[in-house]
Amino acid sequence: MRRNEDPLLDELRRWGYAHANRYTLSRADRSRHVLENAKDYAPKTVEQAFSELVERDGRQRRRFMAERAGLPGLGEVPAWAVDPVRARNDADRPHDNPEVAVDIGIPDDLRWIDRALASMSRQFPLRVLVIRTEFTVAASQAVKARMVAEQYGGSLTLRQYRYELGKALDWTRGRFAA
């Protein structure tokens, strides 16, 4: 069996790709403004909306108050006899909300790798760093070895990196077989 045909390596590559692309930006339709998208949910015309808002000048409220007052012949309480309802102008120019990073997670069939690495990290934290870096970073192994050395806080040669990677793969292969 050639190295490229190893099913464990295929699983680890899929896991690394899922980890590297785990966070995605929320889908924002940049071709249309937010208010234009709102028209899809509220298809009324502007004229229809204004005709419904005509009753909001306070007259309906004053008629209701006149009915409750119990005075015959009083159809509407005069405006001077009613406390004004305070309103504030909270209108703002429309603005786009920033895009948010969304965690799309790891596929369920690859979660065993996270559990295996968590188990390995108790005994071999360097090997976990090596295997995570190997399958989630797109760079040469020399660059990956320097990255692991910076994270681990020591020195790590390319030869040591490859040795630790081989040991980590052997350990993971035992978990994969189980």
Question: Is residue 66 a part of any domain in this protein?
Answer: yes
Is 172 found in the same domain as 110? yes
3-class secondary structure, 173: helix
Is 158 found in the same domain as 139? yes
Is 76 found in the same domain as 51? yes
Question: Is residue 9 a part of any domain in this protein?
Answer: yes
Is 48 found in the same domain as 17? no
Question: Is residue 41 a part of any domain in this protein?
Answer: yes
φ, ψ for residue 142 (rounded to 5)?
-65, -40
Is 66 found in the same domain as 20? no
- Is residue 158 within 8 A of residue 146, CB to CB? The reply is no
Q: Read off the pLDDT of residues 58-94 as tens digits, 9 standing for 90 and up.
A: 777 788 888 888 877 888 888 888 777 666 666 666 6
Question: Is residue 143 a part of any domain in this protein?
Answer: yes
Is 163 found in the same domain as 141? yes
Is 163 found in the same domain as 115? yes
Is 46 found in the same domain as 22? no
The domain of 69 spans 34-81
Is 167 found in the same domain as 123? yes
- The neighbour count for residue 172, using CB atoms within 10 Å, is 22
Q: Read off the pLDDT of residues 119-178 as tens digits, 9 standing for 90 and up.
A: 999 999 999 999 999 999 989 999 999 999 999 888 999 999 999 999 999 999 888 887
Is 168 found in the same domain as 129? yes
Is 41 found in the same domain as 21? no
Total structural domains in the chain? Answer: 2
Determine the Cα–Cα distance for residues 72 and 133; give it in Å rounded to an integer. Answer: 84
Is 153 found in the same domain as 111? yes
Question: Is residue 97 a part of any domain in this protein?
Answer: no
Q: Read off the pLDDT of residues 85-129 as tens digits, 9 standing for 90 and up.
A: 666 666 666 666 666 677 777 888 889 999 999 999 999 999 999
Question: Is residue 11 a part of any domain in this protein?
Answer: yes
Question: Is residue 96 a part of any domain in this protein?
Answer: no
Which of 65, 81, 97 represents a domain boundary (last residue)? Answer: 81
The burial of 109, by beta-carbon neighbours within 10 Å (0-12 exposed, 13-18 middle, 19 or more buried), is given as: exposed
